[in-house]
Amino acid sequence: MTLDELKKACSAGDIDTVLVCFVDMQGRLIGKRFHAKFFIDSGFAETHVCDYLLADDITMEPVPGYKAASWDKGYGDFVLKPDMSTLRRIPWLEGTALVLCDVLDHHTHADLAHSPRAILRQQIKRVESLGMQPFMASELEFYLFDETYDSARQKSYSNLTTTGHYIEDYHIFQTSKEEGVMRSIRNGLEGAGIPVESSKGEWGPGQEEINVRYTNAL
C-alpha cells in the first residue's frame, strides 16, 4: 500500500487507524496507534518513543545495566522512522493498516545500532560484501490452548489445556479441528501481503506450524 492508496482508503472510510511499530529485543511489535488522518498529515515522517523499550524484559520492566538507557543514566527518546515500503492493510483488525519503522538516534537520526532492524541490516551488508544476497523464510511454531488470556494467567501459565491430546505431526484429522484458527492465520497473512506456503500439525499436542515463503532478509 502506498501513501496515496492510504489517503484514498482513509477518505473512503475504509481505514481509520495506522499501527506504527518496531520490533523489540523480544521480537514483539511495539509502537503506537495513529489516527489515519494524522499519520497522512505528518505522522508518516517520524515519531518518538521512550528508549527504555530496547532495554527491558519480557514483562516490559526496565532492566538495569544497559549502556544505552537505564535509571542511572536517565531515559530519553529515540526516533521511529516509518519504512513506507512496509505499509499494508492488516485484515485481522478492522479499519487498520500497519507500517514498520527503523529506529534512529534522537540526536543524529542515524540507525540505532542495537535495534534489531539495524543489527539485521548490518548482517545483510556483511553478506552482500561477500558477493551474496541473503534470503530468509520463517517457520513459525506455536501451541493452541483451550484457554482464555485470563484463565491462562490464573493457572500461572502452567498445566494449560491444549487443543489436541496426542501427537499431531502432519495429522489431517486433528488439525481439521483447529482449522478455524489456522485458516484465519493463513488467509490473514496472505491478505497482508505475506505469502504463506502451508501449515501443518507438529510433534506436540496442540502444536502448530506455519511456513512463510522465503524472500529478502529485511
Between the alpha carbon of residue 79 and those of residues 47, 88, 148, 210, the distances in Å are 6, 21, 35, 33
Alpha-carbon span 169 to 206, nearest angstrom: 10
Q: CA angle, corner 185, sides to 182 and 189, nearest 5?
A: 150
Distance CA 74, CA 215 (A): 40
DSSP string, 151-210: HHHHTTT-SPPBS-SS--TT-HHHHHHTHHHHHHHHHHHHHTT--EEEEEE-SSTTEEEE
Please list the pLDDT of the chain residue by residue as tens digits (218 residues): 999 999 999 999 999 999 999 999 999 999 999 999 999 999 999 999 999 999 999 999 999 989 888 888 889 999 999 999 999 999 999 999 999 999 999 999 999 999 999 999 999 999 999 999 999 999 999 999 999 999 999 999 999 999 999 999 999 999 999 999 999 999 999 999 999 999 999 999 999 999 999 999 98
Residue 31's pLDDT is 98
What pLDDT does 143 receive?
97
| Residue-range domain boundaries for the chain | 3-129, 135-216
> Is residue 78 exposed (0-12), middle (13-18) or buried (19+ Cβ within 10 Å)?
buried
pLDDT, residue 74, reads 85
- pTM assigned to the model: 0.91
Measured distance between the N- and C-terminal CA atoms of the chain, rounded to whole angstroms: 17
pLDDT for 70 equals 87
Kindly report the CATH class assigned to 3-129.
alpha beta
| Residue 207 burial (CB count, 10 A) | 19
Q: Report the sign of the C-alpha dihedral through residues 171, 172, 177, 183, in that order.
A: positive
Q: What is the pLDDT of residue 8?
A: 98
